Structures are given as C-alpha cells and as structure tokens.
Amino acid sequence: MKRQLQNVNFENRIKEKNYDEIIVSGKKLFNFSSNDYLSLSKNKKLISESKKWIDLFGVGLSSSRLISGNLEKISEIEILLSKFLGREKSLIFSGGFLLNSTLIPALTNNNIGQRNKVQIFSDKLNHASINYGCYLTRQKILRYNHLDLNHLEFLLKKSEKKIPKFIITETIFSMDGDAIDIEKLRFIAKKFNAFLYLDEAHSLGIYGKKGAGISSSGKYEKEIIVGTFGKSFGCFGSFVSASGKVIEKIINSCSGLIYTTALPPAVYASIFASLKLMPNLNSERQNILENSKFLRTTISDMNINLIRSDSHIIPIILKSEKKCLKFKQQLEAKGYFVKAITSPTVMKGTERIRLSVTATMKRKKLEQFSEILKNLF
C-alpha cells in the first residue's frame, strides 16, 4: 500500500467543543486516530499563553539553543518539567523522532567521527525512531523478544561484562498498547549495571502519579527518560530527563540539540501551560481509563481479535492489508475516522485498525460505535 497524505480540517472544534470530530472530504467524522489523549491542544489556557509569548518574543527564535536561541524562560520550563517527573535535570528538543534518532548515538558515544563499543538491548517492537537511533550507533544491536524479560536477561548474561550496556524500550507500545513491567525491568538493569532508556511517549499524562508516567513509580540512577509533548500534552516537542551528568553530556554531544533551531516561542508557551495543568487533570485521566476499559471489554465480548493490554491504545488485528482498508472504508461510511496500520509499520500478518481513546469521548458515542462493530463483524 502506497502511503498518501490526507487533508483534514478541524473547523470550529474549539468554539463548538467538538474535540473528537474531524472533517475529511467535507464530512464530519468521529476521530479514533488522535494522540491528543487529554484534548489539551484545544485548551484555552494553552492558546492564551501561546499568544502571549508571540507578543513578547515573536514567532521564532532563529537560532540554535547553543548560540542565541536559549530563552531564560526555556530553562524555567525545564526546571518545572524535572520537578514534575522527579528527575534531576531535563532538556527540551523538537520532534520525538529527532530526539531518539540523535540522542541514542550521543549517549553511546557514537556520534559522527566516533565509534566506541557498547552493547544495546532493544525490544523488538520499539518505535522506528528508536530503531533508527540504534542503527546510527553502528553497533551490533541485540533485539529481545517483545516484553520478554527472560530473553533480555539471557542476552545480558551472554554479553561482555566490561562493555557499557543500554536497555532501550517504550513504556507503552504505540502499535500494540501493551506495557512494560517497570519494576522487573529496573531490577534487571541494576543487576547488569545497564543504562535504562525509557520512552514514555504514550504513557505520560495518563499513567503514574499526577500523569508523570509509568517510570514515576520509582527511580534508578542510570535511568534516562524521554517523551513527547505531542500527545497527552497537546503541543509539540520532546524531552530527555536524567542525571545532571548525563544532561551535560547531551548538551555537548547531541546533534539533535546542537545543530537545530530552537522551537518557536508559542510552542514553549503551550508546553509551559500544559505542564502547569497536568497535575490537576485527575478526572480527565479517570475518564480516559474508564472509556478505554469500556471499549476494550465491549469489543472483547464480541470475540474480536485484540492484543491483550489495558491501555488507551486498542488494536483490532485483521491480519491483512486488504481487510484493514475495507474495514476502514466501512467505518468511515458510518461516520468514524480510523487508520489502517499495515506493513512495514507493523509485521506482515499483524495488520490492524488502531483505536486511540481520549478523555473527552462520550460514553454514548462509544456505545454506538460498539454496535456498529458488532454489525460489521
């Protein structure tokens, strides 16, 4: 299947509070494909703060943060982020793909012109940005079976003891919606003195204390937390949080920070506003968890093939591209916007329709959708 860009519109969704509607080819559809899990991209406080920063600082900073683009306000946001996550220091980057693809080579001392031997242990279903970052290290990557910590430990036992080790994983997987066992993973990392690189992109805002992510359940001194502001935070950008020593290393070696223009002031403003809101969104977090549980349970009762998990990402496995495309068209005809996830994004034979649940979805709409699914299957 050739990928194509599809134009959409969100006209009047803020004014009319149609947070879960999308306009495609002039038709209003209920959107099951958004990562805006808490609907913060439409929040008036974020919009107001963004406008304020445009008036103060203009629309762009026109420089790398290491030259003249590092506003004092950015450092204040990073301090706030570190407090929220319970980490020593943080750095804000631009997009999540840029972060993973440049940070992993920097952390492993494998930038351009360098090649230091490390051992990388990566979950087989990690995001493409992680895989690309690992590839750029030019090291041998040991990929352990998905969420199989016995296999991970087996590979670690066989590895060379004196060589630095990095365990890299998502905390909630973007395509399957399943989650790591954080405490067991920390135990293994400590046992083998390995760095633990956790991508919290789909966990932040929803899970953990006040939405601080799955990793907020504890700490490990060699832990590196990365994430994005483009999902639950409703903004754009990404970040890394770690020890002061690790952050200093990143500032001095990460190409994704050194050689790129700082984010626009309006984006930093929206991050700042969402960070201030996040600890107080417990009712929204409860809504998304209840919505997810209802929809997952209802679909499971129909004997539809789902990947076992408890998260807000619900993949319906159809096992062929043809079936996915047909199912997508059928749902759009009924008023629902979904995307077919096919190879190479997922492995052949695991093609799927992925449903993303948000906090603002109404139970009545989910019930109606469930009835349509029942009729289609």
Query: Exposed e or buried b for every residue in 152-185, given b needs 16+ CB within 10 A?
Result: bbebbeeeeeeebbbbbbbbbbbbbbbbbebeeb
Q: Report the number of distinct structural domains present in the chain.
A: 2
Q: Which of 279, 313, 328 is the last residue of a domain?
A: 279
Residue 3 is assigned to a structural domain of this protein: no
Residues 111 and 198 in one domain: yes
Residues in the chain: 377
In this prediction, residue 117 carries a pLDDT of: 86
Tell me how far apart the alpha carbons of residues 251 and 92 are, in angstroms, rounded to a whole number: 11
Closest CA to 278 of 90, 83, 10: 83
Q: 254-268, pLDDT tens digit by residue?
A: 999 999 999 999 999
Residue 15 is assigned to a structural domain of this protein: no
In this prediction, residue 213 carries a pLDDT of: 97
Residues 273 and 319 in one domain: no
pLDDT at 111 over 70: no
Residues 287 and 270 in one domain: no
User: Tokens 């220091």 identify what position?
Assistant: 89
The CATH code of the domain that includes 132 is 3.40.640.10
Closest CA to 147 of 127, 119, 173: 173
Residue 234 is assigned to a structural domain of this protein: yes
The CATH code of the domain that includes 324 is 3.90.1150.10
- Percent of the chain at pLDDT > 90 equals 83
Residues 62 and 194 in one domain: yes
Q: Which of 279, 304, 321 is the last residue of a domain?
A: 279
Tell me if 13 sits within 8 A of 19, measured CB to CB.
yes
Closest CA to 336 of 31, 17, 36: 31
Q: DSSP code of 259? A: T
Q: pTM to 2 decimals?
A: 0.95
Residues 325 and 271 in one domain: no
Residues 354-368 have a mean pLDDT of: 95
Q: 162-211, pLDDT tens digit by residue?
A: 899 999 999 999 999 999 999 999 999 999 999 999 999 999 999 999 99
